[in-house]
């Protein structure tokens, strides 16, 4: 079946601009996660949505980062006033909500 999809696959933006990254989870998965992976670094948790519960935002690095999940499915991660240190691969994952998470291909964000 279809896996997690993310768009765009690559995004180049100028410092100070806002960007939106999209994630479509696996159909039927109730939990959705955002992570980021900077060059040569491990994966860093950003935010977690589970059903109608309040999201766990404990990993968001600053108030420039926000995310929404509409209708319990698609999610959008928004980064306002992008900075060069925001350059990374942003990965979305979904789960049933059993603990195994399945990742999308990621969005590679480059802030110039």
Partner 1 sequence: RKEVEQDPGPFNVPEGATVAFNCTYSNSASQSFFWYRQDCRKEPKLLMSVYSSGNEDGRFTAQLNRASQYISLLIRDSKLSDSATYLCVVTGSSNTGKLIFGQGTTLQVKP
In 3D space, the residue among 42, 35, 25, 94 whose CA is nearest the CA of residue 65 turns out to be 35
Buried b (16+ CB within 10 A) or exposed e, 7-23: eeeebebeeeeebebeb
Angle among Cα 48, 53, 59 to the nearest 5 degrees reads 25
Q: How many chain residues touch partner 1 (CB under 8 A)?
A: 25
* Nearest to partner 1 of 64, 108 (CB atom): 108
Q: Of 9-17, 61-69, 71-79, 97-105, which part binds partner 1 (CB under 8 A)? A: 97-105
Q: Are 15 and 9 in contact (CB under 8 A)?
A: no
* 12 vs 25: CA distance, rounded Å: 24
Is residue 90 within the footprint of partner 1 (CB under 8 A)? no
CB of 16 to partner 1, least distance (A): 27
* Nearest to partner 1 of 49, 111 (CB atom): 49
Is residue 100 within the footprint of partner 1 (CB under 8 A)? yes
Binding to partner 1 by CB under 8 A, coded x per residue (else -) over 24-63, reads -------x-x-x-----xxx-x--x-x-----x-xx----
* 83 vs 85: CA distance, rounded Å: 5
Q: Which residues would be at the binding site for partner 1 (CB under 8 A)?
A: 31, 33, 35, 41-43, 45, 48, 50, 56, 58-59, 91, 93, 95, 97-106
């Amino acid at each position: 079946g279809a896996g997690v999809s993310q768009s765009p696959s690559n995004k180049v933006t100028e410092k100070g601009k806002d960007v939106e990254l999209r994630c479509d989870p696996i159909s039927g998965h109730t939990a959705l996660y955002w992570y980021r992976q900077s060059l040569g670094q491990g994966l860093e948790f950003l935010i977690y949505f589970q059903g109608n519960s309040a999201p766990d935002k404990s990993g968001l690095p600053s108030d420039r980062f926000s995310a929404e999940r509409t209708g319990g499915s698609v999610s959008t991660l928004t980064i306002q006033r992008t900075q060069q240190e925001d350059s990374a691969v942003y990965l979305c994952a979904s789960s049933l909500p059993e603990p195994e998470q399945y990742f999308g291909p990621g969005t590679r964000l480059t802030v110039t």
